[in-house]
Amino acid sequence: MKRSKPNIPPDLEFTKDLPALMAWAREEEMDIENKHFKDLTLSGLDFSHLSFRGSVFENCEFTDCCFEKADCRDLRFQSCNLSNNDFTEGYFNRCEFMFCKMVGVDFHQAQLENICFSDSNFQYANFSKAKLKALEISQCDFSHTTVSECKLAQIQLDSVNFEAASFFKTPLKGLDFTSSQIDGLIVSIEALSGAVVSTYQAAELAKLLGLIVR
């Protein structure tokens, strides 16, 4: 799998007043692009329907923010807290989330393509009915996450915790779980066809069939 990486210019403009920039973007119907946002505390902001391009969010805290139907391309979120924020029906392409806290985020019906999730916490996140293509997920906690009724393509996993995650009605063909933890995985039997698992994981999944492995 080859993921397209973010195209972020080297000479970004540091910006402190993001709310003012957002107001300008809405009024002028313009993209927010080539910015570096750092050490910001943002609460209750409405990012819905806004477009972000070629920018970096570093060490930012987002509380009760709405990114519904936001269009995000060529972005990097580094060491940010985005927990419990709303990303429903958002579009994300060539984005990276590194060392982030994403507990309880809602990506319901979102489209994510060419995405890197690394060293981040996605516990209790919701990806139901999302379209996920060309994702690299490494050293992340996806325990108790909902990935139900999703369309998956070209997903690469490296040491991901999927304990008690739900993949109900999500076909897992070609998904390699061998480096990951899947204890208590919630999945429909037919969706398991073609998934790649270790011998130990196969024995655990056999319990879904009511088998007793000795």
- Write out the two tokens for 173: 């063909």
Given this structure, which CATH class describes domain 34-209? Answer: mainly beta
**Residue among 64, 79, 74 at smallest CA distance from 12:** 74
Region 136-144 average pLDDT: 98
Domain edges within the chain:
34-209
207: pLDDT strictly greater than 80: no
- Alpha-carbon distance 47 to 72, whole Å? 10
List all residues 6 or more positions away from 196 whose beta carbon is below 8 Å from its beta carbon: 174, 175, 176, 177, 178
Q: How confident is the model at residue 206 (pLDDT cuts 50, 70, 90)?
A: confident
Q: Pseudo-torsion of CA 137, 172, 74, 100, nearest 10°? A: -30
What is the three-class DSSP state of 25? helix
Reported as a single tens digit per residue, the pLDDT across 45-94 is: 999 999 999 999 999 999 999 999 999 999 999 999 999 999 999 999 99
pTM of the model: 0.93
